[in-house]
Structure 1
């Protein structure tokens, strides 16, 4: 068993997951896929690569998938847990760089918005939306993190234990903001490593109006609670 576990949530990622798993095989990591019953054969591709797959009966959300993966990592005694997208947006070469920084912070975030971070193949609207969400989260929550919404992360398991991950409620991309907020509230140290984020070339984005609305409502409610000292 390696000391680091990569947790990858999937739903209909058959076009991209195989190449990602091939690239990850060059690193000293174990991989766990949490698949929400993909009808396109995503789980079968993972199994053919010799990867452990937890298959659920339907779409249960990003947050639920990561909570499941974190719990398994804690139970099995891993030292670090890595979050990574299945669609090829997160480069394995960037993960290799991030892993060189393990031990410097309890939470390492692969950041698009720090110096030397970059994005490829995004529209200006998508870029402004992401930057706006991060600005809004930092304004209301005073997180002092450039990329609160990044899903490319390495957690030390001792931090996850302090965070009480079973009580994290967010399901969509707001999950990353809630995890950042909780990590800081628990005294966790946070470091941001520049990455190049590449917009998916295959498959469809999971972003929706409902996911965006969840983020706005939760960030606003947390900001109000912070304002009144709760």
Structure 2
């Protein structure tokens, strides 16, 4: 077992998941992969099982009975990672919008540069997004500016879903109480890490829109983020955060 666990939620990702696993397995630093599979009708789970045989003790899968959402997939993965004592636990999309080679840079930010949470950021050095429609770029960029305005959180890419957490971060924050699904889930996780006093470091990445499969993005996910941030900030005014002693 390596000290690194990459959580990859999947729903209908048969075109991507095998290629992604092969790429992650080829990296110079060893990473295990946990696929959280939401009962894809396209055969994603069956393909992952063949890769678990190809890479024994490196590929794992949680199979769920329906499409339960991104947030709950990561929550299940976090719990698995903590129980199995991984030092670093990563979030990553299945569709190659996140470059697997950047896992090493996220790892180094936590291992060598003192970060508790490393964020693969599209906006820390301008806008580094390829193949997105301009409307979606603007929506994502201004969503982050909105989050900064409401929360005061000093993160340039608040909706980013490519991250590395030290295990003690997830052992400290109440991640299992986060009920949001998409962008809002990613925002609240960063907000909790920040409020609990952990060090967040943004690592610049180039984000590439998927070329295979179908996007799961919807207007409901965007609306959840807009109104969820207001609710999250309001509730935070009545909560006390106690950073864990190191």
Cα shift readout 1:13-63 (whole Å, capped 9, x = no counterpart): 111111111100023011100000000011111111112211111011111
Unaligned stretches of 5+ in structure 2?
53-58, 240-246
* Residue from 148, 167, 174 that aligns with 1:138: 148
Partner of 2:12 in structure 1?
Answer: 12
Which range is displaced more, 181-190 or 49-58? 49-58
Partner of 1:41 in structure 2?
Answer: 43
Q: Secondary structure of the residue that 1:92 maps to in structure 2?
A: coil
Partner of 1:22 in structure 2?
Answer: 22
Partner of 2:99 in structure 1?
Answer: 91
Unaligned stretches of 5+ in structure 1?
none
- Residue 177 of structure 1 deviates from its aligned partner by 0.1
Cα shift readout 1:61-96 (whole Å, capped 9, x = no counterpart): 111000000001111111110100001100012222
Report if aligned partners of 2:3, 2:31 keep a CA contact under 8 Å in 1: yes
Q: How many corresponding residue pairs?
A: 229
Partner of 1:124 in structure 2?
Answer: 134
Cα shift readout 1:87-106 (whole Å, capped 9, x = no counterpart): 11000122222222223210
Partner of 2:243 in structure 1?
Answer: none
Report if aligned partners of 2:115, 2:199 keep a CA contact under 8 Å in 1: yes
Q: TM-score, normalised on structure 1? A: 0.95
Q: Secondary structure of the residue that 1:114 maps to in structure 2?
A: coil
Q: Secondary structure of the residue that 1:101 maps to in structure 2?
A: helix
Any residues of structure 2 matched to 1:169-180 within 5 Å, and which?
Answer: 169-180=179-190
Cα shift readout 1:105-146 (whole Å, capped 9, x = no counterpart): 100000000127611111111110011110111100111100
- Residue 229 of structure 1 deviates from its aligned partner by 5.8
- Residue 223 of structure 1 deviates from its aligned partner by 3.2
Q: Secondary structure of the residue that 1:100 maps to in structure 2?
A: helix
2:89 counterpart of 1:81: yes
Report if aligned partners of 1:106, 1:156 keep a CA contact under 8 Å in 2: yes
Question: CA RMSD for the aligned pairs?
Answer: 1.4
Partner of 1:3 in structure 2?
Answer: 3
Q: TM-score, normalised on structure 2? A: 0.89
- Residue 222 of structure 1 deviates from its aligned partner by 2.5
Q: Distance in 2 between matches of 1:13 and 1:84?
A: 13
Q: Secondary structure of the residue that 2:141 maps to in structure 1?
A: helix
Q: Distance in 2 between matches of 1:95 and 1:45?
A: 23
